[in-house]
Amino acid sequence: MNEQIKKSRGRVIAGGLCILSALMGALGILNYWVGIFGEAGSGFGKGDIPPFVPSIIFDTPIPALVIALAALAGSVFIFLRKKWKWALIGAAAAACSFILTGIPAVILLLAAKDEFTG
């Protein structure tokens, strides 16, 4: 019984990290698009690279938003324990959105593969 609880915790943590990654990515996109955190040139304004948005998706807010939404959708599959491949795609999108929480989410999800159906 203790082993089942431990497995479930890893999966739940992975889902939470995917949600956090999606939110951080969306916040970075919002920061770039709108410049809500400051004025241009302050390091947190429109046109500046936010510190938590990867440089590969910089200057392309629409694809970055799609990546953040895919991470959010992946977290739903993680919590439902269904469609492991889609959950893994969502976790990979989370790694692209915010690497500090995305990589641990992928690792925890790989460890919890046997908990999924479909």
Question: Given 3-state DSSP classes, what are the helix, strand and coil percentages for the chain, each rounded to the nearest 5?
Answer: 75, 0, 25
Residues constituting the chain: 118
Amino acid at 78: I
Residue 59 confidence (pLDDT): 60
Task: For residue 82, report the phi and psi dihedrals to the nearest 5 degrees.
Answer: -125, 155
The CA–CA distances, whole Å, from 78 to 41, 51, 74, 109, 112 equal: 39, 27, 6, 8, 10
First to last CA, the chain: 23
pLDDT of amino acid 71: 92
Number of other residues whose CB lies within 10 A of the CB of residue 35 = 16
Question: What tokens were used for 4?
Answer: 């089942």
d(CA 7, CA 24): 26
| Lookup result for tokens 């739903």 | 76
3-state secondary structure of 90: helix
- pLDDT tens digit at each of 118 positions of the chain: 455 555 678 888 989 999 999 988 888 777 666 655 555 444 454 555 555 555 555 566 778 888 889 999 999 998 888 888 999 999 999 998 888 888 999 998 888 888 887 7
